[in-house]
Amino acid sequence: MNGTGSMAAPFISVTGLTDRELPVSKCPSGVLHAVIPSLCVGSSQDLRHNAVGYVSFLRGNTTHPEGKTTDQINFEYYREAVLIPFITTIREKLFGYSPGTDIPIELTAFGLVDEINAIFLDLKHRGILLLKHNKESALKDFISAYPSMIGRAAPTSSVAKGFLSNGMLDKRTMFWPDYDAILQTCKSKLIK
C-alpha cells in the first residue's frame, strides 16, 4: 500500500515446507508460486473483481542450483511480478509517466521489504546475524508488518486528540502549546 491508499496485489509466503510437502522432484527450486484470481480487496463484495493475488510456497533450507536461497528466489519473483508493476502503474495512472523513459527523481520508489532484505543479507554475509531460516523469515515478516500494526494501534487522530485536549498542542497550528487549554486542565482555581 502506498501513501494514497493504493494497494499492490496481495503476496502471501508460506515458509518452512518439508520435502514431503513440496517434493524436490516436482519443484526443484524449492519455491512454488500460485497465481490466484480474485485474491484482492473487494472481491468478496463485488464478484466482478478479477485482479490476482499470489501465494508462494517455500521449502525450508533449500539452495537453488545457481546458489540462490528460496527467500531470494521468492523475493525476486515478488519484485518482478508485484512490486515493479505496482510502482509502474502508480507512476502511469497518477503522474502520466511513460514506461521506458527516464524516471524523474520525484517518482523514484523503494519498498520496505527491499530495505529489510538488504539489511538482513548484509548482516548475514558479514557474519553478524546468523539466524535459522524460519526465525529470519518470521522476523522479516513481523518487521515489514510493523508499520501497519502500529498505525492501527495508535492512529494519528487518537494520538493528536490527547495532545489537543490537554493543551500540549494548539488546534490551529498543531505545533505550539495552547496555554489557555493547559490552564483549563487545572482542578483548583488559579490566582489572577
Give the pLDDT confidence score for residue 87 in this predicted structure: 87
Per-residue pLDDT tens over the stretch 135-168: 888 888 788 777 667 667 767 677 778 788 888 8
Q: How far apart are CA 165 and CA 48, in angstroms?
A: 46
Tell me which of 192 and 183 has the higher pLDDT: 183
Per-residue pLDDT tens over the stretch 61-84: 666 667 788 888 888 899 899 988
Total residue length of the chain: 192
Structure confidence at residue 34 as a pLDDT band (50, 70, 90): very high
Q: What is the value of pTM for the model shown?
A: 0.56
- H helices present in 18-64, as ranges: none
Per-residue pLDDT tens over the stretch 106-142: 777 766 676 788 888 888 888 888 888 888 888 887 8
Q: What is the mean pLDDT of the chain?
A: 82
Contact 112, 140 (CB under 8 A): no
Give the pLDDT confidence score for residue 81 in this predicted structure: 92
- If we measure between CA atoms, which residue out of 31, 50, 25, 24 comes closest to residue 39? 50
Give the pLDDT confidence score for residue 3 in this predicted structure: 60
Structure confidence at residue 8 as a pLDDT band (50, 70, 90): confident
Beta strand spans in the chain (E): 11-17, 31-37, 52-59
Q: Retrieve residue 42's grid coordinates.
A: 473487494
Give the pLDDT confidence score for residue 76 in this predicted structure: 87
